[in-house]
Chain A
Amino acid sequence: MHNGSDEELMDLYRQGNVAAFDELYSRYRQPLYRFILRQVGEPATANDLYQGSWEKIIQARDQFRSSQSFRAWMYRIARNHVIDGFRRMKPDTDLADQVLESHERLPDEQMEQGERQSALKRAILDLPPEQREVIMLRLEGGLDIATIAKITGVNPETAKSRLRYAVNKLQACTQEYTQPAHPEPAAPNEGPTDSRSMRKRYE
């Protein structure tokens, strides 16, 4: 097992060391998957997007420079791939239905995974996509605000604002996870949470 940094492992992999990639993969396998799953809310779609993201990472390995952060580079690729996935969705495929489907399964999951997890998942899925994106880049990717702003293509102030709204909503959920999460009123500069607005945003 390699103990080097992500960037060193990526360099080794570019030179043909497959074991380095395996180590890198084991480090980001779970966070990247959850990042995507929290975005789309549906495991089948998340599986496709997850595999596609890694495919893009592998294909773009020669474009990676060791001077940059591998984590930021990887999440940027994954984020762009997720947005492409939204764009590719057929018009009759409504993400809201998928999310609702996901919500409908929650009671069963609550039985297995605990109420707190389910409540937090639901709260994340209830976030507007812009807020969900930035908060997951933080919670799963561990990225700072400047990097999040760079990845999402907005200025840092906008990123902070989105994070602030997301934090407030999720904190409310973690405080009262046993209570049903009441959707917060939409922020003036953020769109509604339905999938039509999500897709419109990415189109």
Chain B
Amino acid sequence: MSKPKDPKNSHSDDQRSTRSGPEVRVDQEGSLEADLDELENSYREIFDQAEEIHRADYAAGRRMAESVARPSSTPEQPPDMIDQAVQNMARRAVEAPDGSSRRRGLWMGGFATFSLAVIALSLILQQDPGQDLDIAPVDGLSVKRDRAPAESSADDLDPASRQLFDSTAPDSANESAATAEFEERSTMKQSSEPESISAENQRVDRLSEARQERSAAKSASLPAEEDSLRARREADRDEAISPTASQPPDQANNESQENFSVRSFGDQPAVDREDPESWLDYISQLKAAGRTADSRQEFRDFRQVFPDYPLPDEFSSWD
């Protein structure tokens, strides 16, 4: 052990070394290192004898209570609980690394973005449901689209409602307009088939006559309305002459979408329920095909719509 130096002298030594150049400073540094080593040895001698025992105890897995029981030991060591806490902390940090949480965060972010995009897309599609149906009809073919369940039509109505729907004796101008609109749609559908234009005209005429008969029977005919209907049909005929392909896609869609009066039974031909003759023909075909129940049901529907229409002989017994 070296003799302790006076701090004042030591300080003045440092000051001298700074003033007198690098060589003296090296000497002072060497002296300091030597003094530090000496102090370190003394420090270890004083503390490490006991600490070595502690270190050996720790390495052997002995805990503090046992270690403190030694006569020469000093309790200058962290408590067991802190040791355990630090080691658990280190284990958890490795088991759940930051990288995985970052990846999890990225995955969650991506999923949230995707979900948001899906929701936004579905909202857009809900707002404009007809956008995906903008298909121009091919020349000579009518666009017949399956109706959505939510869409109501005359065919889906119960007979009483359908009768009301098909009524040609409207009580108000609004109903008249609705009927005209209905007729127009029905006719426009037919106009998508150019080869049947003349037949269509005949059917329209027949329909008109039939309605006139019914109107007369009900004593509620409105001549002015009939005139307007006729004018409307004339206009329809003119429109029917022009090819369907020249129509704007929206109109074609509307026609196909609201094609109420046409129903098809599998391979059976479509039937126009506005035309009593055509409807009766259809019932006759069903009957001939052996579909008695269907034909009976159709006949009942027919009678609901046309209660006073004169029946052919084959159906006279059904009435």
Contacts and interface: CB of A to CB of B under 8 A. Distances in A.
Interface of A: 13, 16-18, 21-22, 25-26, 29-30, 33-34, 37, 47, 50-51, 54-55, 58-59, 61-62, 112-114, 116-117, 120, 135, 138-139, 142, 145, 157, 160-161, 163-165, 167-172, 174-175, 184-185, 187-188
B93 A120 contact: no
A50 B54 contact: no
B77 A29 contact: yes
B93 A171 contact: no
Nearest to B47: A117
Nearest to A16: B94
B86 A171 contact: no
B222 interface: no
Interface of B: 1-8, 10-11, 14, 18, 28-29, 32-33, 35-36, 38-40, 42-43, 46-47, 50-51, 54-55, 58-59, 74, 76-79, 82-83, 85-87, 89-91, 93-94, 97-98
A30 B284 CA distance: 106
B46 A116 contact: yes
A120 B50 CA distance: 15
Contacts of A33: 76-78
Given A21-B90, A139-B40, A160-B29, A172 B85 contact: no
A164 B6 CA distance: 10
Nearest to A119: B46
A13 B78 contact: no
Given A139-B40, A160-B32, A174-B1, A30 B46 contact: no
Contacts of B39: 135, 139, 167, 170-171, 174
A192 to B, nearest CB: 15
7 contacts: A25-B86, A33-B76, A54-B89, A55-B86, A164-B14, A170-B39, A174-B39
Given A165-B7, A167-B32, A167-B36, A18 B74 contact: no
Given A33-B78, A58-B90, A171-B39, 5 more contacts: A26-B59, A54-B86, A58-B89, A164-B7, A187-B11
A170 to B, nearest CB: 6
Contacts of B77: 29-30, 33
